[in-house]
A = this chain, B = another copy of it.
C-alpha cells in the first residue's frame, strides 16, 4: 500500500500585498477632493480617518476597498477549492494541475474536534453539527477516509505507470487530496468571501459554511486584519456585511 500523508489544516501564506487602510481613505477622498486626494495616500492617514472608513463600510460604499490587493498561497483539499473557486469577482487563481504534474499523496483528515455529527433539525442551507463524542466513530471515519485515499492513490500510480494521460489517470483520486493555489483578491472581494465563509452568530446575515473553508477563511481574515486593521474593525462592528 502506498505511503500517504494526512493533514488536518489548511495552510495559508501571504505572498504579497498592496495598500492599506490609508489607500481606502485616499480612494474615497477623490470624490470630494479630486486631484488632491493623493495626499491621503500615506500610512498615518488611515488612523486619522477611521470615521470615514467606518462610514464607508456602514453605508456600503464598496469601491474604495478595491484599490488594495493581497496574494495568498493556499494549500487546501480539493473539496475546499470547489467552493472557493465559485468566488468569481475580484478573485484570481492559479492552481496546481493534475494534467501537468504528479499530484502529491497529501490528504485531509478531520481534527478530533471538528463538529461532525448531524443533529436533529438539520436542514439544507443551515446545517448544524456537534462534536463527535464517540472515539470509535471518529476512528472509523478516519479509517474509511484514509483507506480510500490509499487505495485510490495506489490506483492513480498504477494508471500513470501504464503511460496514461495524467488528466485521466487522476479520475480516481478523492476530493480530500490537497492542491496548492495562488489566490489574489482585494479587501472588498475578500470581505464578501469572509461574510459568506465564516460562521459568526452575531453577523447581520449569518452564514453556515463548510467547516474547512471557514477554517481557511479565518486565517485569511487574520492576515487581512494585520494589513487593514481599521477596515477590519469596521467590518466586524458593522455586522460583517461586505460593502
Interface residues of A (CB under 8 A from B): 13, 15-19, 23, 26-28, 30-35, 37-38, 41, 55, 59-61, 63-64, 66-67, 69, 71, 73, 75, 77-79, 81-82, 85-86, 88-89, 91-101, 104, 108, 110, 114-118, 124-125, 127, 129, 132, 137, 140-141, 144-145, 147-149, 151-152, 155, 158-159, 162-176, 179-182, 184, 186, 196, 205, 210-211, 241
Contacts and interface: CB of A to CB of B under 8 A. Distances in A.
B67 A104 contact: no
A78 B175 contact: yes
A168 B114 contact: yes
A8 B129 CA distance: 37
User: Which of A55, A165, A167, A173 has the most chain B CB within a 10 Å cutoff?
Assistant: A165
B78 A100 contact: no
Q: Chain A interface mostly helix, strand, loop or mixed?
A: mixed
A109 to B, nearest CB: 8
